[in-house]
């Protein structure tokens, strides 16, 4: 699967450098999916909102760069692969058994991914995951049941290895 992806970066008046060297690795403490190059999947508005909340609110400008990513191989897809979701749930059970955590509520996503890496069961070049952002839409399947489909979940991609995943060009599209 080829997707259009967006990376939001601080505006340091270095667009030529960004386009030549980007995307840039995220070293932010508490990053959702561990160490990697973070990009928003398909929806430009998520990257813009991130820029407003992470940069503008702190008195800084931001730029948004666009590229395409090839997620057809070696992507740990927690959005589109039921098998990968089941594997992730199994890792939680392994962490409970090994007494690293007490229950599912103590499971923290980047810790689970790091656990998989240490156990040698994580050989992926990228990760794709979603969250329950404020703009999600829940559609019921039936009026009398509390069963529903969730749409418009933000999807973030963490590229661990750019080779074979990042498709050039990586170009700044905001500001125009």
Residues 6+ apart with CB under 8 A from 129: 32, 33, 78, 79, 109, 155, 156, 158
Full-model pTM: 0.91
What is the C-alpha to C-alpha distance for residues 130 and 109, in angstroms, rounded to an integer? 11
Residue 134: band (very low, low, confident or very high) from pLDDT cuts 50, 70, 90: confident
Looking at residue 176, what is its pLDDT? 82
DSSP 75: E
Query: 66: helix, coil or strand?
Result: strand
In Å, how far are 9, 62, 160, 168 from 50, measured between CA atoms?
A: 9, 9, 20, 23
Q: Tens digit of pLDDT for each residue in 62-95?
A: 999 999 999 998 999 999 999 999 999 999 999 9
pLDDT at 174 over 90: yes
What does the DSSP assignment read for 105-153?
A: GG--HHHHHHHHHHTT----SEEEEEE--TT-EEEES-TTS--EEEE--
DSSP 32: T
The answer to whether residues 7 and 159 touch, using CB atoms and an 8 Å cutoff, is: no
Complete edge-to-edge strand list for the sheet that includes strand 126-131: 75-77, 126-131, 154-159, 37-41, 2-10, 62-70, 166-174
Residues 15-39 have a mean pLDDT of: 93
**Closest Cα to residue 18, out of 27, 4, 29, 8?**
8
Within 13 A of 108's CA, how many CA atoms are on the CB side?
Answer: 9
């Amino acid at each position: 699967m080829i997707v259009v992806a967006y990376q939001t970066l601080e505006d340091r008046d270095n667009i030529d450098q960004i386009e030549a060297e980007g995307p840039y690795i995220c070293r932010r403490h508490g990053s959702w999916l561990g160490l990697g190059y973070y990009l928003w999947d398909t929806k430009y508005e998520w990257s813009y909102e991130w820029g407003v909340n992470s940069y503008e609110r702190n008195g800084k400008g931001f730029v948004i760069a666009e590229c395409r990513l090839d997620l057809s191989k070696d992507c740990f897809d927690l959005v589109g692969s039921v098998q990968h979701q089941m594997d992730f749930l199994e890792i939680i059970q392994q962490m409970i058994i090994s007494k690293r955590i007490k229950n599912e509520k103590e499971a923290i996503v980047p810790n689970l991914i790091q656990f998989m890496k240490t156990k040698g069961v994580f050989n992926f070049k990228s990760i794709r995951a979603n969250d329950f952002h404020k703009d999600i839409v829940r559609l019921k399947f039936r009026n009398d049941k509390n069963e529903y489909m969730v749409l418009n979940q933000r999807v973030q991609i963490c590229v661990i290895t750019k080779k074979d995943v990042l498709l050039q060009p990586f170009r700044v599209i905001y500001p125009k």
